[in-house]
Structure 1
Amino acid sequence: MHSFIPPERFFPYLSWTDIQEMPNKENVVIIQPVGAIEQHGPHLPLIVDAAIGVGVLGKALAKLDSSIPAYALPSINYGKSNEHWHFPGTITLSTETLTATIMEVGESIYRAGFRKLVLMNSHGGQPQVMQMAARDLHVKYGDLSVFPLFTWRAPNITKELLTPKEAKLGMHAGDAETSLMLALLPEQVKLDKVVAEYPPEQPQSTLLSWEGQLPVAWVTKDISKTGVIGDATTATKEKGDRILESLSDGWVQVIRDIYHFQPIRRD
């Protein structure tokens, strides 16, 4: 049941009396991984985002100093993935359903006495949902600190391992995700089906981009025939191992910082 998560760090393995008697609950870090079940091209399984989140978190929790109390909740594997729903197999929740799920999980964690909740999101289509839910939870419970974080934004070396084009335009099922999956679930990667496909280039004169400062809304079929937005042909397990080590080191630092975080009180 705990997958990549160390069993001693897996929240559901605790009993209710373990939680009742837990000391210093206001500083215990509770981490909710949030992924997606969605297409990732012909070479990767649907579970990529959920697997990456739990894989990175599990590695980080195994490295984390045992003196820092931190626990992983079971992953929310379904996400808001309607940008991919033209590709068979994608399962999507609405913004409202995902928000309600996050809110109710947060409320349950709060009732148990915890005051630090991390939303560890690994799907690029829903950071805004995490941010809005986090703000609403904090508005409702002023002493609950909620951290809406994206897995790939912890300090890591990934971009150093990619070509300049991939670092700029690779967004989905490309080198980084494929390499990391080769490290986490290599038997689920179909190397004979890897492809490279980038979105159409925007005119150099425009300020607009597919992602970034001034984006346009798109769905995957607008910019990709295969479901890949990047170059999966350059992926290797060696790169994946390095990405996993780097990302998990970054998350050790993030969890440590959240444990020591002291909210501002202006009652």
Structure 2
Amino acid sequence: MNSIDLTSANWKDIKETRYDAVILPWGAFEPHNYHLPYLTDCYLSHHIALDSARLAYEKSGVLCAVLPPVYFGSQNPGQWNLPLCIHTNSETQKAILCDVVDSLHGQGFKKLVIINGHGGNTFKTYVRDLAKKYPDFTVIVVDWWAIVPTKDYFEETPDEHGGEQETSVLLHYRPDLVKMEQAGDGKVIPLPMESINNKVGWLPRNWGVVSEDTGIGNPKKSTAEKGEKYAKAVVEKIANLLVELA
């Protein structure tokens, strides 16, 4: 349906359309090893959002509008100093989200689902503040890569950034953007603090210390077939969420 994807829809497509919810893909602009594009998180969250919206419509007639992705995410040290990697401050991210919600609320919309494609993005405090300001407006956040366990689909661990999971799913959706012949091995260098490595505490890891190629996880076993199977499982769960929300 032309009216689902707002990167291509026009005013005639949507003028008489009644939407049950709005979906906002949110990614980042950052290196993803040597073989994936800077916009990987945006491509993945947008394609997952589109497939989920289409499936929700096929299942139950629930109609969602998928907005263009937000390109800018929160970065770690060792990332934000790399050429053309854009770090967005938390105040900026909150302002973007608040402006989106304020615009939609003023137009009569009541439901927004964020499909997050970047692990550095955190929205919980913003959503709580918005719930207080707009008690009749629901915001739900979905980290698409985390809602289906990866153990039955992928072989490599760890697999966190530019590894087998992301590479396989992008091979499914946009194989023209993946240059497997350039891929590094995504080797992870442990921090010199075992308590941090064991997740006793948290700090933003310096990417230049933990990774040589900006990847975390080996992408060499990635295939489009693995990505298709995994994306299908993810989309099924998100589509069910959209149906329940409507």
TM-score, with structure 1 as normaliser: 0.81
- Pick from 43, 50, 56 the counterpart of residue 58 of structure 1: 50
Q: Which residue of 1 aligns with 2:84?
A: 89
Residue by residue, what CA displacement relative to the aligned partner does 1:53-83 show, whole Å, maximum 9, x if unpaired? 0111112222223521211112111222354
AA of the residue aligned to 2:177? Q
SS in 1 for 2:3: helix
Unpaired segments ≥5 residues, structure 2: none
Q: Distance in 1 between matches of 2:116 and 2:197?
A: 23
Please state how far the C-alpha of 1:209 moved relative to its aligned partner: 2.5
SS in 2 for 1:231: coil
Q: Which residue of 2 aligns with 1:264?
A: none
The alignment of Structure 1 onto Structure 2 pairs a total of residues equal to 242
CA contact (8 A) 1:54 1:75 kept: yes
Unpaired segments ≥5 residues, structure 1: 1-5, 260-267
Q: Which residue of 2 aligns with 1:69?
A: 63
Cα distance, 1:90–1:206 mapped onto 2, change above 3 Å: closer
Q: Distance in 1 between matches of 2:13 and 2:217?
A: 48
SS in 1 for 2:97: helix
Equivalent residues in 2 for 1:140-159 (5 A)? 140-154=133-147, 156=148, 158-159=150-151
Greater helix proportion: 1
SS in 1 for 2:165: helix
Residue by residue, what CA displacement relative to the aligned partner does 1:78-132 show, whole Å, maximum 9, x if unpaired? 2223542232231222111111011111111111111111121110001x2x212
CA contact (8 A) 1:87 1:227 kept: no
CA contact (8 A) 2:5 2:50 kept: no
SS in 2 for 1:162: coil
* Structure 1 position 196 matched with structure 2 position 188: no
How large is the RMSD of aligned CA atoms in angstroms? Answer: 2.5
Identity %: 24
Cα distance, 1:22–1:183 mapped onto 2, change above 3 Å: closer
CA contact (8 A) 1:157 1:243 kept: no
- Pick from 217, 238, 241 the counterpart of residue 254 of structure 1: 241
Q: Which residue of 2 aligns with 1:110?
A: 105
